[in-house]
């Protein structure tokens, strides 16, 4: 593609996600947990534009504060571009411009969406013609949430959350997001969960080694029934996230009091996702939350995963 200035470039977008269900298995010897999760990609997107360059660089704009993001080789978008170049034998570089709209460290997989969109944009820019399966394999090397950002829709994740199988979801679900002005460290939330389980080992049922997604989640998705889904939402990381950021609990209570069918911490937080019956209810809840001084957005799901944007 060519932009108005005549520069060859490629533009791809990838969605953020909500964990409708997240069951965390026992802490294993390698320090990780087996997961059983249901993801839904929602209509809040990261936009990545890729331009030819001799080396690799990334810059950020967008609706969220990006001042704390790294722009060196540790950035996931740079890692994605370099991995694609290495796997395909491409010898040039790329200049990435990322427009971020998914909250940073917000439990919605924004960095993973950057990586997925970068794979798609660079593959188009460089003409490397990687297959979808090859891109998914590369995505899995970059992080547990990156394959889902590439595929989108609604899916069940097992293993570390990166072993995906599609889940049939009928219709469209309406969500209102309450965005926090701070991020949360995923490792810190998992550590808090492990400590809680260890402290209360005598009082709580032990976590499964290989957890599974509850059948009522899958039934609600197949039925396209938001009320049924509201009853099935679950996140094992919610309690530790609320322990680390107690103010989130009052926002959950507020959302459910003023119209949400249910609210849930998305992933490791701190973003809160409220499920509502329809578009009108979403607008009403957004207005209520905004009147309380919260940054609230309406989104829908499921949506497609990372794809090339054919604008020109």
Rounded to a whole number of angstroms, the CA Rg of the chain reads 19
Residue spans per domain, the chain: 10-167, 173-301
Average pLDDT over residues 168-188: 92
pLDDT of residue 1: 53
Q: How far is 11 from 96, CA to CA, in rounded Å?
A: 10
- Lowest average pLDDT, out of 53-62, 195-204, 226-235, 292-301, goes to 195-204
Token pair in block for residue 191: 């550590």
pLDDT of residue 310: 58
**pTM tops 0.85:** yes
**What is the chain's mean pLDDT, rounded?**
92
CATH class of 173-301: alpha beta
Per the annotation, binding residues are 103-113
Residues 6+ apart with CB under 8 A from 13: 45, 46, 47, 48, 117, 306, 307, 309
pLDDT of residue 291: 96
Whether 225 is catalytic: no
Cα distance between the two ends of the chain: 6
pLDDT of residue 4: 43
Whether 30 is catalytic: no
SS3 helix, strand, coil % of the chain, rounded to 5?
A: 35, 30, 35
Of 79, 100, 123, 145, which residue is the catalytic one?
Answer: 145
C-alpha separations of 288 from 15, 103, 174 in Å: 25, 21, 16
Please state which CATH number belongs to domain 10-167: 3.30.230.10
pLDDT tens digit sequence for 140-149:
999 988 999 9
pLDDT of residue 192: 94
Q: How far is 124 from 127, CA to CA, in rounded Å?
A: 5
Of 17, 23, 79, 100, which residue is the catalytic one?
Answer: 17
Quickly count: other Cβ atoms within 10 Å of residue 137's Cβ: 13
What values do phi and psi take at 116, rounded to 5? -65, -45
Token pair in block for residue 166: 């599609």
Per the annotation, binding residues for ATP are 103-113
Instruction: Provide the pLDDT confidence category of residue 96 given band limits of 50, 70 and 90.
Output: very high
């Amino acid at each position: 593609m060519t932009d108005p200035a005549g520069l060859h470039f490629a533009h791809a977008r990838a969605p953020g996600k909500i964990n409708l269900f997240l069951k965390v298995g026992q802490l294993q010897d390698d320090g990780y947990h087996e997961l059983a999760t249901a993801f839904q990609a929602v209509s809040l997107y990261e936009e990545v534009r890729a331009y030819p360059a001799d080396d690799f660089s990334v810059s950020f704009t967008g609706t969220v504060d990006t001042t704390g993001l790294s722009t060196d080789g540790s950035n996931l978008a740079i890692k994605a571009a370099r991995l694609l170049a290495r796997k395909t034998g491409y010898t040039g570089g790329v200049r990435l411009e990322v427009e971020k709209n998914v909250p940073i460290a917000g439990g919605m997989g924004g960095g993973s969406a950057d990586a997925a969109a970068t794979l798609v944009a660079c593959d188009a820019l460089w003409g490397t013609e990687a297959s979808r399966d090859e891109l998914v394999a590369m995505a899995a090397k970059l992080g547990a949430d990156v394959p889902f950002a590439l595929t989108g829709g609604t899916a069940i994740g097992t293993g570390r959350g990166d072993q995906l199988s599609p889940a049939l979801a009928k219709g469209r679900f309406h969500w209102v997001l309450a965005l926090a002005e701070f991020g949360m460290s995923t490792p810190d939330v998992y550590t808090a969960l492990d400590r809680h389980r260890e402290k209360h080992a005598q009082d709580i049922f032990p976590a499964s080694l290989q957890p599974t997604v509850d059948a009522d989640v899958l039934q609600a998705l197949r039925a396209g029934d938001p009320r049924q889904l509201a009853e099935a939402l679950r996140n094992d990381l919610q309690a530790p996230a609320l322990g680390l950021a107690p103010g989130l609990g009052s926002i959950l209570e507020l959302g459910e009091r003023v119209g949400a069918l249910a609210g849930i911490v998305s992933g490791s937080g701190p973003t809160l996702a409220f499920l509502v019956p329809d578009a009108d209810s979403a607008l009403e809840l957004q207005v209520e939350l905004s009147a309380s001084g919260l940054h609230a957005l309406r989104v829908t799901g499921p949506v497609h995963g990372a794809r090339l944007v054919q604008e020109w």
